[in-house]
Amino acid sequence: MINEQIRDKEVRLIGEEGEQLGILPIKEAMRLAKEANLDLVKIAPTAKPPVCKIIDYGKYRYELARKDKEAKKKQKVTEVKEIRLSPNIDENDLSTKANQARKFITKGDKVKVALRFRGREMAHMSTGKQILDDFFSRLEDIAVVEKPAKLEGRSMILFLTEKR
């Protein structure tokens, strides 16, 4: 809230240089802000009494936006990459898929390994668990299991993330 939007009877006022001006009635605080050709901005509305500061509101909003933009630049977005396998996968194919997963994990992404069962393959669930265990054993030097292998519908799904 700024200037006339502030409805409190009295506020703790901070000057334009950051100095404490004490607890003042709102009319006195508004007068001081007008004399300095600046805005009265409520910066801590939950405090008793609320804290207001005499600042240039446009400059204040610009600084906040810039800080938010800087914070966004620094954050890392992790993606979930999916690798699909089938129960009758060959050794070389499994190695290729494991190498692809290794690339994803070293980039910092999570990997979802999905083993899809079709038709009569549903009768051999235990082989699927062994394939996922073998897949993880190829990556255990750089990865940890985030969620263990679990059957969801016709797929067995395992989540891997980077070791910390």
Q: For 71-84, write each residue's pLDDT tens digit.
A: 888 887 788 999 99
Instruction: Tell me which amino acid residue 16 is.
Output: E
- What is each CA distance from 105 to 28, 33, 101, 134, 141, in whole angstroms? 60, 55, 6, 17, 11
Q: Euclidean distance between the first and final Cα of the chain, in Å?
A: 44
For the cut 80, the answer to whether the pLDDT of residue 2 exceeds it is: no
Statement to judge: residues 33 and 54 lie in one domain: yes
Domain boundary among 58, 74, 90: 74
Domain boundary among 74, 98, 118: 74
Looking at residue 136, its pLDDT comes to 92
Statement to judge: residues 105 and 120 lie in one domain: yes
Domain range enclosing 84: 80-162
Map residue 79 onto helix, strand or coil.
coil
Query: What is the domain-level CATH number for residue 36?
Result: 3.10.20.80
- Whole-number Å distance between alpha carbons of 164 and 117: 32
pTM above 0.75, yes or no: no
Check residue 164 and report its DSSP letter. Answer: -
Statement to judge: residues 89 and 110 lie in one domain: yes
- Whole-number Å distance between alpha carbons of 112 and 20: 55
pLDDT confidence band for 5 (50 / 70 / 90): confident
Domain total for the chain? 2
Domain boundary among 18, 39, 74: 74
Statement to judge: residues 100 and 151 lie in one domain: yes
Statement to judge: residues 87 and 70 lie in one domain: no
Statement to judge: residues 155 and 84 lie in one domain: yes
Q: Which strands make up the sheet holding 110-116, listed edge to edge?
A: 80-85, 110-116, 155-162, 143-152
Strand partners, 111: 81, 160
Dump pLDDT digits (tens) for 116-150. 999 888 888 888 889 999 999 999 899 999 888 88
Statement to judge: residues 84 and 154 lie in one domain: yes
